[in-house]
Structure 1
Amino acid sequence: MNSHLLNGHYRIVKVLNDGEKGKTYLVEDVNLADSQFIVKQFRSPSSNPQTLTILRRLFDSKAATLEKLGQHDKIQKLITSFEENEEFYIVQEFIFGNPLTDEIIQGQPLNKDQVISLLSDILEILVIVHSYGVIHRDINPANIIRRESDKKLVLVNFVTGNEGITNTDDNLEYMPIEQFNGNLKYNSDIYALGVVAIAALLGLSANEISNLRTQKNRLTGEIVWQNKNIKINRKLARIINRMVRFNYRKRYQYATEVLDDLKKITNVDNDQQKQHQKKLLLVLTGVAGCITLGVGAWQLRLPKPLIDAQQTLYQEGVNQYEAGNYEGAVENLNQAIKLDPKNALAYNKRGDAYYRLGDYEQAQADSSQAISLNPQDANAYFDRGFAFSELGKYKEAIADYTQAIKLNSQDAYAYYGRGLAHAQLKDNKGAIGDFSKAIALKPEYTEAYLQRGILRRRLRQRIEAIQDFDTVIKINPSDAKAYYQRGLTQSINKQKYAALKDYTDAININPKYIEAYLNRGDVYSDLGDNLEATEDYNAILQIDPKFTAAYIHRGIHRFSFGDYKGAIQDYTEALKLDSNNLAAYNNRGNAYLDLGNKKAANQDYSRAIAINGSNALAYYNRGVIRTKQKNKQGAIADFKKAAKLFQQQGEKDSYQDAQREIAILQNNSLPAPTTRPKSGKREKR
């Protein structure tokens, strides 16, 4: 399309947008095979050297911000930036997937749970974005991409400079009045996302969204959007109305506030969140003990007016933190640190706030600064250890926990944190040693018993594992996780009725414990209790209609007693939720095969192979089909591929099955294989 190579190696494939201030291109890197990127060009309004210098500094700053943001998985990554012919360019990753405009379709409203999920996903991204002091400025369905690889929503097309304050007709419907007037606020993004939610609930196309402008109350400016013909959950409508209030002061101020209100109306099990909160509480352990010393130290250095100002800012930051407003805490602590860059206590607290915002890199940086100011601060090493763990830097985390232990050898939490890091590195001996030390220091530390029990089960020390879970239950008879984990161990030990009791106890304590229902349903299915198994799978789908595994497991259950059509329906529902689910394709292929529909079975196995070329089961099953179709060479090729993969994966029985089928075929015999690998009917991923 264009012979000129941007920056010497980016070939323009397509012009995506041609605006007054620059262009956006889809490009390919001539030095990299099958590579596509998005390039944005920003034109300078003047060739004046001073203007260019100012613009260059602004551009470098914006590029640096985009680079930091792109380190997060759900934000479009910055590849590079460059200047060419007094024009500025940024290169970003091309997200393979579909924009939200493909999901928000005219006349097809999304349901409450779908909209809550959409809002929660984007709000979690905005928490990160706003923590960097960045406002997206152009939230709309076209800038939210459903990534093909994992079906996660990714936020793209961050606006830089004053691009977001333009009076073009293509974004007015999402733009709040303060943005239109050039007075951007963080909650300007919240307003735009609220409009997206309205469009999703009403099933409005991109063109129809513009009609919202004509539906505003003439006196108040508020959007009048609720449709009598579409039933909207009142609590959700109340949240959205607050998101799109005309006056930004009456709107939600922070993305975390919206998330908190959404959580109150969801039916999703919060067990994992509670676990995360417990871990976060560990991060804060010991902070109170060092407040007096820390405050006294910086009071000696500062004049009294500055001491008073910093105390006020610090305390306000603490108050904001305790109220759950972590962005506000960061803002106040930033100012406190500006007044005294050597205030280790403020760095500690700001690091905690960044941790709660999910910005583990900044949390690690603040802990490092606190350590440099006070190398004897065991709590700072502990905090940084947790930040390193969240970043996947387990060796660094272990080093920090070890230093924290040297400074405070009685800190059970530091041993526990180090045990978690050792477990991630498969150092089972080290992990069990640390959990045991944490228990010795704190004999009622239930989380340490629980983690040690899980690890012991993985090491096939099942009696010892059950003893750990027994101890947790003795300390806290209402710990649903301990019953669940003991149930898993009982299942492995073939103690099915004992497992049923444990799963039932877990469910009685937590009626929304999805994993307990799932595993209890599997045990019922194995025992032939068809009605009870079906009820458990159905219970999961009442709690969370989008829980893909429930459809997979119910499909396996239906298949087990010959309900192949019902199994196919379940696998199809699973694929609607996750179009790349290998288990659904493989298992649906099995069901089609048992119904005699070889063509459909072959298509499902081939699709599984296309998604993952290392899926041995799909090759084996397709070999079965090809054998039945008397495609000898194709069958042999599939069985050979399956055998190789089974061998690599340590699947000895399945490897032998594949080898046997190859031998039969090579001896010029073409009977239909009578067995499949044992995992064929039970693939549950």
Structure 2
Amino acid sequence: MNSHLLDGRYRILTVLNTEEVTQTYLVEDTSLPNSKFVLKQLRPPSNNPQTLKILRQLFASKATTLQQLGQEHNQIQKLVTYFEEKEEFYIVQEYIPGNPLTEEVLQGKPLREDQLISLLLEILEILVFVHVRGVIHRDIKPANIIRRQSDNKLVLVDFGIVKEVIITGIENSEYVPDEQSHGNPKYNSDIYALGIVAIAAIMGLQTNEISSLKNQKNQLTGEIIWHNKTIEVTKKLEKILNKMVRLNYRKRYQYATEVLEDLKQLTNHEYDQQKQNQKKLWLMLSGIAGCITLGIGTWFFQPPKPISNAQKLYKQGVSKYEGGKFQEAIEDFTQAIELDSQNALAYNRRGDAFYRLGDYQKAQADSSQAIVLNPQDANAYYDRGFSLYELGKYKEAIADYTQAIKLDVKNPFFYYGRGLTWIKLKDNKKAIGDFSKAIAVKPDYTEAYLQRGILRRRLKLRQAAIQDFDAVIGINPNDAKAYYQRGLTQVANQQKDAAIKDYTNAININPKYIEAYLNRGDIYSDQGEQLEATEDYNKILQINRKFIAAYIHRGLHRFSFGDYKGAIEDYNQALELNSKDAAAYNNRGNAYLEMGNKKAANEDYSQAIAINSNYDLAYYNRGIVRARVGNKKGAIKDFQKAAKLFQRKGEKDSYKDAQKEIANLQNSAPLKTTRAISGKREKN
């Protein structure tokens, strides 16, 4: 590696760190004398062209994001450049002379409480900036926080967002919460990691003792037990630290701003206590005159005003919303609005809660009010767009998404929302264009790939659809929906064995994936694998006894191997759950027909037609019965109606079948029209 210049300019000076798939070096830029930079080499786990293509897009996106963060904040390590060479990825970062935080903590000596609070406040201020820009650090630990030599400020370095493009997960698991280790990092995953750092610092732990900290858990709650009588920490700080490291991320602080607020209130409280002590002393020394003097002094030294009740209610509402308590959140936001009618954020959030409860009219009204109060709030237009979408006002939704995009052209979610709406307006070209824009802005946007793939499959662009589903699986191998959708596409391509594998993968990831069982069962049935198909249909009914399609499909399966009685039992079950299920009547009619009960078959087909007057299959099948009983005129009328409906739907083969039946009836005597043919079936 030292034998050539990386990117034609960087010469390695020394190795800083070596890991399985990453190497870190101190390098110099040969075009800048006496320069020093940190260069990180990332080795992809595979040289598969499709995988590399996806990784390349992700790498560029994450590196660009990190580059912007460093440019906008002085306490974030700057990313100088990034490049690819020989199918390996590189990032070049600012070299920061100074000492890692490991030299201040993890030295076996506890920090004082005031030292720890000062440390936390400075780091949290940086995290607020990072999180507001939609980024999670993912690798908060003392080694990644540098005390800069030039100004003694803390600098956040070595974000995990770039490294996790190449490798899944962070190696230093002692700082990583459960949701992140399971591939679902949240903003408060960084808060958890910082909380572990803080607890280790106040306890005076050493580096090799951190791993044991997470093992000290309450047997009932799973929460970390760390405080004892030997650790000098106030109850209020202990409460803050405990909330930072809650096992369940929903019970943890949701935002860095919340931790900052509590820490600042804690320091203000201590300041108030100090003033109260001064007041007592002055009263003893100066009597009434001292009181007057103290009144002036207290006014002069008064700490910042506490956060308003409206703000507190708003934050309570946010916390309840994040915990899924939407009705309670609405109550808090409503009170916040009553106290501060200009609170656009409260209207916006209350609208989100109404949306989650399915009250789209109120959600739309709240988003509209948020827009009135802040016409530059792109997110309010985005939220109103979704409410309008649910209300069926697709053109109005398009207008809102478009306005949101004008205000923020780099937000992938705005393009995604508009793409979904274009589908409703049957403008598939624009929908694909918007999903593609969302992916261009956010190359790891799996939902955008998924929706584009579904649309491409429906448009019979099957190879392109499979590429989209492959991309989702490449980004997240545990996305059950991507396997399921790829399975549907494989079936359309007549690749049934491949489809079975995809449905099986979807089921392994989500053992209650009913649709995957249903479609796999259908393939097994088509292939004559009677036992396997039956097991899949039975499994669905174990999961949900009221899933009508499972009865319909199992009935069709039983019908296929001559178990007409069993098929009728299944259709009866389906009709008990929904007496207006036309497909169940049609299919039960087929079973009766095969058993020779033409009267019952005729009644079922007629019932199916009564429910759906355009039911082509039922007309065709009733035509068969009428032909068998010698009702030539009625049979011809039914086949003509079926033919017309088949033609309208573009079903050429069925149209030909109906025309053939008409011709046979018109050219033969009534008693010779009966033929040993089965009725046409339908799957729900």
TM-score by length of 2: 0.54
Q: Given the alignment of the two structures, is residue 684 of structure 1 paired with residue 675 of structure 2, yes or no? A: no
How far, CA to CA, are the matches of 1:408 and 1:466 in structure 2?
A: 31
Q: Which residue of 1 aligns with 2:414?
A: 414
Cα distance change on mapping 1:652 and 1:673 into 2, 3 Å: farther
Q: 1:437 aligns to what?
A: 437
Deviation at 1:311, TM superposition (A): 1.9
Q: After TM superposition, give the deviation of residue 646 of structure 1 in Å.
A: 2.2
Provide the residue aligned with 2:535 in structure 1: 535
CA distance in 1, matches of 2:440, 2:681: 41
Q: Is the 8 A contact 1:592 1:600 kept in 2?
A: yes
Aligned to 1:553: 553
Residue matched to 1:458:
458
C-alpha contact (below 8 Å) 1:333/1:350 kept by paired residues: yes
Matches of 1:581 and 1:589, distance apart in 2:
13
* Corresponding residue of 1:390: 390
Q: Cα deviations across residues 220-261 of structure 1 (Å, max 9, x unaligned)? A: xxxxxxxxxxxxxxxxxxxxxxxxxxxxxxxxxxxxxxxxxx
State the 1:673 CA deviation: 5.3
Question: Match for residue 606 of structure 2?
Answer: 606
Distance 2:647 2:587 in 1: 22
Shift of 1:651: 2.4
| Distance (Å, rounded) in 1 between the aligned partners of 2:384 and 2:372 | 12
- In structure 2, the residue matched to 1:468 is 468
Compared CA separation, residues 287 and 588, structure 1 to 2 (3 A): farther
Shift of residue 464 of structure 1?
Answer: 0.7
Kept after mapping to 2: 8 A contact 1:449/1:469:
yes
Deviation at 1:652, TM superposition (A): 2.4
Q: Note the alpha carbon deviations across 1:508-544, whole angstroms, 9 max, x for none.
A: 1111111111000111111111111111111111111
Q: 1:682 to 1:625 in 2, by over 3 A?
A: closer
Gaps of 5+ in 2: 1-253, 262-303
Query: CA–CA distance in 1 between the matches of 2:375 and 2:367?
Result: 11
Q: Equivalent residues in 2 for 1:370-389 (5 A)?
A: 370-389=370-389
The Cα of 1:328 is off from its aligned counterpart by 2.0
1:348 aligns with 2:348: yes
Code of the residue aligned with 1:493 in structure 2: it is: N
Q: Match of 1:444, SS?
A: coil
Return structure 1 stretches of 4+ with deviation > 6 angstroms: 285-289, 304-307
Letter in 2 for 1:382: Y
Secondary structure at 2:449's aligned position in 1? helix
How far apart are the structure 2 equivalents of 1:673 and 1:477?
A: 55
For residue 308 of structure 2, give the secondary structure of its aligned residue in structure 1. Answer: helix
8 Å contact from structure 2 (residues 556, 587) kept in 1: yes
Q: Does 1:571 align with 2:571?
A: yes
Cα distance between partner residues in 1 of 2:506 and 2:339: 51
Cα separation, 1, equivalents of 2:256 and 2:641: 57
Larger radius of gyration: 2
Query: Partners in 1 of 2:674 and 2:519 — Cα distance?
Result: 31
Name the SS of the counterpart of 1:477 in structure 2: coil
AA aligned opposite 2:538: N
Q: Which amino acid aligns with 1:644?
A: K
When residues 337 and 571 of structure 1 are mapped into structure 2, their CA distance, relative to the original with a 3 A threshold, is same
- Give me the CA root mean square deviation: 2.5
**Alpha-carbon separation, structure 2, partners of 1:387 and 1:676:** 51
SS in 2 for 1:426: coil
Amino acid at match of 2:581: N
SS at match of 2:630: coil
- Paired position in structure 2 for 1:366: 366
Amino acid at match of 1:683: E
Mapped contact 2:589–2:600 kept (Cα < 8 A): yes
Name the aligned partner's letter for residue 450 of structure 1.
L
Change (3 A) 1:551 1:320: same
- For structure 1, list consecutive stretches of 5 or more residues without a partner in the other structure: 1-284, 293-303
In 1, the alpha carbon distance for the partners of 2:443 and 2:585 equals: 48
For 1:514-663, list aligned pairs within 5 A: 514-663=514-663
Give the aligned residue type for 1:315: K
Q: How far does the alpha carbon of each residue in 1:317-353 deviate from its partner, in whole angstroms, 9 at most, with x for none? A: 2233233222222222222222222221111111111
Offset at 1:371?
Answer: 0.8
* Other structure's SS at 2:482 match: helix
Name the counterpart of 1:513.
513
Q: What is the number of equivalent residue pairs in this alignment?
A: 387
Letter of the aligned partner of 2:601 in structure 1? Answer: A
Q: CA deviation at 1:287?
A: 14
- Paired residue type of 2:313: L
Q: What is the CA–CA distance in structure 1 between the aligned matches of 2:548 and 2:373, rounded to whole Å?
A: 49
Q: Distance in 2 between matches of 1:463 and 1:682?
A: 30
- Report the Cα distance in structure 2 between the residues aligned to 1:305 and 1:444, rounded to whole angstroms: 43
Query: What amino acid is aligned across from residue 634 of structure 2 in structure 1?
Result: G
Aligned partner of 1:401 in structure 2 is 401
Please tell me whether the aligned partners of residues 419 and 434 of structure 2 are also in contact (alpha carbons under 8 angstroms): yes
Q: How far apart in 1 are the matches of 2:319 and 2:493?
A: 50
AA at the equivalent of 2:666: Q
SS in 2 for 1:570: helix
Q: Distance in 2 between matches of 1:558 and 1:451?
A: 35
Aligned pairs (5 A) from 1:133-282: none
Structure 2 residue aligned with 1:449? 449
Tell me how far apart the structure 2 counterparts of residues 377 and 639 of structure 1 sit (CA, whole Å): 59
3-state DSSP of counterpart to 1:409? coil
- Classify 1:486/1:449 alpha carbon distance in 2 versus 1 (closer, same or farther; 3 Å): same
**C-alpha offsets along residues 549-594 of structure 1, whole Å, 9 cap, x if unaligned?**
1111111111111221111111111111111111111111111111
Alpha carbons of structure 1 residues 288 and 396: separation in structure 2 relative to 1, 3 Å: farther
1:644 CA drift (Å): 2.3
Contact 1:555 1:566 in 2 (8 A): yes
Q: 1:347/1:498 Cα in 2 relative to 1: closer, same or farther (>3 Å)?
A: same
Cα distance, 1:682 vs. partner? 3.7
CA distance in 1 between counterparts of 2:577 and 2:459 reads 34
Q: Please give the per-residue CA displacement for 1:110-140, whole angstroms capped at 9, x wherever unaligned.
A: xxxxxxxxxxxxxxxxxxxxxxxxxxxxxxx
Distance across 1 between alignment mates of 2:449 and 2:681: 31
Contact kept? 1:286, 1:379, Cα under 8 Å: no
CA shift at 1:305, angstroms?
Answer: 9.2
Amino acid at match of 2:478: S
Instruction: Give, as a single letter, the amino acid of the residue that structure 2 aligns with 1:479.
Output: D
Report if the CA contact (8 A) 1:453-1:468 is conserved: yes
Aligned partner letter, 2:442: K
Output the CA distance in 2 between the equivalents of 1:556 and 1:547: 15
Secondary structure of residue in 2 paired with 1:613: coil
Matched-pair contact (CA < 8 Å) for 1:287–1:379: no
Which one-letter code corresponds to 2:577 in the other structure? L
- Determine the C-alpha separation between the residues in 2 that align with 1:287 and 1:416: 28
Q: Secondary structure at the match of 2:613?
A: coil
* Structure 2 equivalent of residue 309 of structure 1: 309
